[in-house]
């Protein structure tokens, strides 16, 4: 690929944000590892040991004393300048960022600054016959998927939905790491100002980071059954998910929604209860390694994707399953 791929990854608590290794995996769809540069904005607290197994040609650490604190207020003005500086330095053909709060802001500003095309919230990448990136992303409110190709020969900016790719490990060992002092970079002119922060209370393990996810769907029939799912989540250390139908019915908050219009997940084990397996839902969990399905309809689409399936009434199956898990604890 002409120009290679620049991943601008995020840093959290002195280490890699969970999306970084997912972006490395995504970059592998369109470039060889040697053509990929991972750039991180860091302060003095970053631990290089977390880079072990990251399969890229080079890791560049942009050192700035305000690199981490810039994102605390959700403004990301300095981070924008650092990303733009990285693009000018490395002249990549493609820039990949995660569709996080920071990535959503920075990718849009980057595209505007360079007059580049932006493909947002992508769940798959490939190369077309001309060597340009073709992205897959949800359209029509998540009811369908569409493939878009970048026209022309300019910079291609892509934000990738968290969880759309597995956070796979590469060959064990440290990549080449270079440090660049960018403390002289600042922000000129007027910048957005943080007025207020409202924090949404969340329960359990975040969906995108969970190794085990338990989800309920329309087949549960109401709010109360989700308490049983919460009990199972507690035993398994799992995150609680739901289908769009369950969320739209008001049985659980939309922050738990898995699917095209919700969150993409890539757990080792995904347990579904009363979920039929509509294509929009399956697109959000396609990276799950093992799907365990419980549904009374033996013709439900979920069983064509599941490694293990139980055909039966969830109200009879789930208590027995939960009791068995409790005995193993």
pLDDT at 190 over 80: no
Domains in the chain (CATH in brackets) are 5-181 (3.40.50.620), 207-328 (3.40.50.1220)
> What is the reported pLDDT for 202?
67
pLDDT at 209 over 60: yes
Region of poorest pLDDT, from 31-35, 104-108, 194-198: 194-198
pLDDT at 116 over 60: yes
Residue in the structure block whose two tokens are 């300095």: 78
CB neighbours of residue 328 within 10 Å: 7
The CA distance from 205 to 209, in Å, is 7
> What is the reported pLDDT for 170?
66
pLDDT digits (tens, 9 = 90+) for 218-245: 999 999 999 999 999 999 999 999 999 9
- State the helix-helix crossing angle for 225-236 and 314-328, rounded to 10 degrees: 20
CB neighbours of residue 39 within 10 Å: 25
pLDDT at 119 over 90: yes
64 secondary structure, DSSP code: -
Q: Bin 234: left if φ > 0, else alpha if -120 < ψ < 50, else beta.
A: alpha
CA triple 148-109-10, angle to 5 deg: 90
> What is the reported pLDDT for 21?
94
Question: Shortest CA distance to 206 belongs to which of 229, 232, 228, 237?
Answer: 237
50 or 38: which leads in pLDDT? 38
pLDDT category at 72 given cuts 50, 70, 90 is low
- State the helix-helix crossing angle for 77-90 and 101-114, rounded to 10 degrees: 50
Q: Which residues contact 224 (CB under 8 A, 6 or more apart)?
A: none
Question: Shortest CA distance to 265 belongs to which of 219, 229, 228, 212?
Answer: 212
The CA distance from 281 to 302, in Å, is 10
pLDDT at 319 over 70: yes
110 phi and psi, to 5 degrees?
A: -60, -45
pTM assigned to the model = 0.76
> Please, how many CA atoms are within 13 Å of residue 165, restricted to the half-sphere of its CB?
28
Give me 296's structure tokens: 């009374």
Radius of gyration of the chain from Cα atoms? 21
Residues 253-267 have a mean pLDDT of: 89
3-class DSSP state of 10: coil
Give me 22's structure tokens: 């997912």
């Amino acid at each position: 690929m002409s120009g290679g791929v620049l991943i601008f990854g995020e840093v959290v608590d002195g280490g890699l944000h969970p999306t970084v290794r997912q972006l490395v995996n995504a970059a592998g769809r369109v470039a060889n590892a040697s053509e990929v540069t991972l750039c991180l904005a860091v302060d003095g607290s970053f631990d290089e040991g977390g880079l072990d197994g990251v399969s890229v040609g080079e890791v560049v650490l942009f050192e700035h004393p305000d690199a981490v604190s810039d994102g605390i207020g959700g403004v990301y003005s300095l981070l924008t300048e650092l990303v733009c500086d990285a693009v000018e330095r490395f002249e990549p053909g493609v820039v990949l960022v995660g569709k996080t709060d920071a990535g959503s802001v920075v990718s849009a500003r980057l595209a505007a600054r360079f007059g580049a095309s932006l493909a947002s919230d992508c769940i798959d990448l490939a190369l077309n016959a001309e060597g340009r990136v073709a992205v897959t992303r949800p359209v029509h409110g998540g009811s369908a998927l569409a493939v878009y190709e970048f026209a022309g020969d300019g910079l291609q900016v892509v934000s990738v939905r968290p969880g759309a790719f597995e956070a796979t490990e590469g060959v064990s060992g440290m990549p080449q790491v270079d440090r660049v002092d960018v403390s002289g970079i600042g922000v000129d002119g007027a910048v957005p100002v943080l007025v207020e922060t409202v924090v949404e209370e969340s329960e359990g393990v975040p969906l995108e980071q969970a190794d085990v996810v338990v989800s309920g769907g329309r087949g549960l029939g109401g709010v109360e059954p989700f308490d049983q799912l919460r009990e199972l989540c507690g035993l398994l250390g799992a995150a609680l998910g739901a289908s769009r139908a369950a969320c739209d019915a008001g049985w659980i908050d939309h922050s738990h929604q898995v699917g095209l219009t919700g969150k993409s997940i890539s757990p080792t084990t995904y347990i579904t209860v009363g979920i039929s397996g509509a294509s929009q839902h399956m697109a959000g969990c396609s990276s799950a390694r093992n799907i365990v399905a419980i549904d009374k309809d033996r013709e439900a689409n979920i069983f064509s994707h599941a490694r293990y399936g139980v055909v039966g009434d969830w109200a009879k199956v789930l208590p027995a399953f939960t009791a068995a898990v409790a005995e193993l604890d």
